[in-house]
């Protein structure tokens, strides 16, 4: 079984179809999927707004957790029955997926598949931005936009665990979630976010994690303390834009280049800007292995909004598209 996105529109454009279990080629393995995730990337793909997405029709699915069911030639160190995770970007909404053997990450045998899935893309994104890009330290103050989302909830938990003070934006309905996680909430619907951040942190914040993109990054940059950093990892505000998907990025790139020039001239107060994009590789494997260890030890509890069977992917995607999630939405096979 596989879920195919047939064209531009809403979740109703998803179709459940039957597909043959693919055979792995050289240096690849076939994985029987146990769980896969629903992300905002798929919401953007519905509307042809995600950067470099495939042409319709295609199978979405950014990541997966499953069991190796077949091994292709040239693969060593992997056995049938091994539990693994992988970052696919697209193609994971299937019962069986072929992935490169070099890009799979071992999953603890006793870890729940849905819980493990909740930290594959979202967890690594949060971990790498916090510890490897922004390098947040104890005592610093950070701003997390979308603090109730799949990545945002993990950013809050990991930043608090690192000893940082966390300010998070969310709707009023999700205020208690942020408070219970240790964040200071701002209702982005009723409050002026920049004004409120300046009230809470008059000297500026040390890092802003911004999934909104375009115009938001300017506000985020202006909220930085000396030496602070904006980490931009999404473009959620473009989801309802018209025209080519690249158009909203031109102005943002021009602003970023301007900041870089200021910094080179010594006029940027040490402030920095970084684009982040999650990708497989040794650093991904290292981060995900550490996250699995934290989850297995009970140190990190990734929130899951809901679990749906794979054939209910349209319903699951609608929950995310309508803003009802407070963590990861998981599809289980």
The fold for domain 2-118+303-332 equals Quinone Oxidoreductase; Chain A, domain 1 (3.90.180)
- Both tokens of 195, joined, read 């004004």
The pLDDT of 246-254, averaged and rounded, is 80
pLDDT-based confidence at 177, cuts 50/70/90? very high
The pLDDT of 145-160, averaged and rounded, is 95
Q: What is the pLDDT of residues 86-95, one digit of tens each?
A: 999 999 999 9
245-268 average pLDDT score:
83
Question: In angstroms, what CA-CA distances link 175 with 87, 180, 189, 192, 328?
Answer: 31, 9, 12, 16, 17
Pairing label, strands 2-5, 272-275: unpaired
Residue 219: alpha-carbon gap to chain centroid:
22
* Confidence (pLDDT) at 5: 97
Encode pLDDT of 43-87 as tens digits. Answer: 999 999 898 899 999 999 999 999 999 999 999 999 999 999 999
pLDDT computed for residue 75 by the predictor: 96
Angle in degrees, CA 105, 18, 114, rounded to 5:
35
- Cβ distance 77 to 102 under 8 Å? no
Residue 65 tokens, joined: 């957790």
pLDDT at residue 102, rounded to an integer: 96
Give start-end residues of each CATH 3.40.50.720 domain in the chain: 121-275
Average pLDDT over residues 208-233: 94
pLDDT in tens, 263-321: 888 888 999 999 999 999 999 999 999 999 999 999 999 999 999 999 999 999 999 98
> Which pTM value belongs to this model?
0.94
Q: What class, spelled out in words, does domain 121-275 have in CATH?
A: alpha beta
Residue 208 pLDDT: 98
Cα angle at 102 between 96 and 108, to 5 degrees?
70
pLDDT band at 254 (very low <50, low <70, confident <90, very high): confident
pLDDT, tens digit (0-9, with 9 covering 90-100), for 109-136: 999 999 999 999 999 999 999 999 999 9
Report pLDDT for 255.
Answer: 84
Residue of higher predicted confidence among 229 and 242: 229
Q: Residue 308 burial (CB < 10 Å; 0-12/13-18/19+)?
A: middle
Residues 157 and 299: their CA atoms lie apart, in Å, by 10
Model pLDDT, residue 243:
80
Per the listing, tokens 């209702």 go with 187
- For residue 238, give Cα distances in angstroms to 50, 58, 213, 310: 9, 22, 8, 28
HSE of 226 in the Cβ direction (CA atoms, 13 Å)?
3
Q: Does residue 248 register a pLDDT over 80?
A: no
What are the helix and strand counts (H, E) for the chain?
Answer: 10, 15
Asked if residue 33 lies in contact with residue 96, where contact means CB atoms within 8 angstroms, the answer is: yes
């Amino acid at each position: 079984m596989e879920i195919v996105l047939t064209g531009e529109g809403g979740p109703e454009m998803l179709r459940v179809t039957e597909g043959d279990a693919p055979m792995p080629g050289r240096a690849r393995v076939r994985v029987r999927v146990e769980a896969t995730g629903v992300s905002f990337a798929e919401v953007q793909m519905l509307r042809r707004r995600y950067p470099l997405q495939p042409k319709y029709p295609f199978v979405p699915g950014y990541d997966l957790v499953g069991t190796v069911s077949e091994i292709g030639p040239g693969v060593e160190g992997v056995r049938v029955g091994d539990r693994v995770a992988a970052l696919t970007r697209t193609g994971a909404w299937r019962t069986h997926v072929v992935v490169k053997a070099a890009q799979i990450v071992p999953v603890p045998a006793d870890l729940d598949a849905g819980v493990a899935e909740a930290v594959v893309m979202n967890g690594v994104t949060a971990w790498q931005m916090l510890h490897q890009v922004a390098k947040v330290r104890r005592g610093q103050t950070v701003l997390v936009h979308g603090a109730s989302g799949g990545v945002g909830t993990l950013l809050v938990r990991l930043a608090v665990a690192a000893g940082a003070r966390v300010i998070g934006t969310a709707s009023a309905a999700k205020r208690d979630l942020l408070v219970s996680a240790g964040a200071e909430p701002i209702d982005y619907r009723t409050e002026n976010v920049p004004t409120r951040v300046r009230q809470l942190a008059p000297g500026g914040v040390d890092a802003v994690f911004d999934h909104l993109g375009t115009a938001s990054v300017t506000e985020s940059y202006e909220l930085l303390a000396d030496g602070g950093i904006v980490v931009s990892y999404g473009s959620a505000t473009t989801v309802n834009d018209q025209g080519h998907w690249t158009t909203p990025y031109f102005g943002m790139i021009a602003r970023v280049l301007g900041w870089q020039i200021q910094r080179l001239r010594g006029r940027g107060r040490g402030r920095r800007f970084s684009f982040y994009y999650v990708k497989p590789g040794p650093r991904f494997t290292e981060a995900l292995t550490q996250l699995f260890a934290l989850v297995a030890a009970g140190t990190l509890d990734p929130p899951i909004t809901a679990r749906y069977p794979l054939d209910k992917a349209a319903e699951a995607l609608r929950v995310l598209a309508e803003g009802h999630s407070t963590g990861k939405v998981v599809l289980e096979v």
